[in-house]
Structure 1
């Protein structure tokens, strides 16, 4: 649970442009992880799930910032 709280605190201070850049980076990392997992199983396949959740949290923060503006 603390990872979620720490992650939310770290993205709250970012601007909209920074959030969108982070979103694109995370999506690219997810594609690479999924590709690597398709070739040979990852040591920790749960990392894919946690990255997907992080992407969803960033997307939520982006939508909140857009609603404020």
Structure 2
């Protein structure tokens, strides 16, 4: 099976976990199931970043990734 690997910083990891936790709490309070999405955006020149959406869309910042 092939893999997409995305490298994130410790700060980005903490931010993602915080957003998932906060979104989950909102879902529990409102009795909804919104789920979430992670969008890898890459443009020419090797510039890539992650966007995360659950209750709202936030920019996680620049990342490195590989396809293997």
User: Could you tell me the TM-score, scaled by structure 2's length?
Assistant: 0.43
Higher-RCO chain (CA-CA 8 Å, sequence separation at least 6):
1
Q: Name whichever structure is richer in helix by fraction.
A: 1
Q: Name whichever structure is richer in strand by fraction.
A: 2
User: Could you tell me the TM-score, scaled by structure 1's length?
Assistant: 0.42
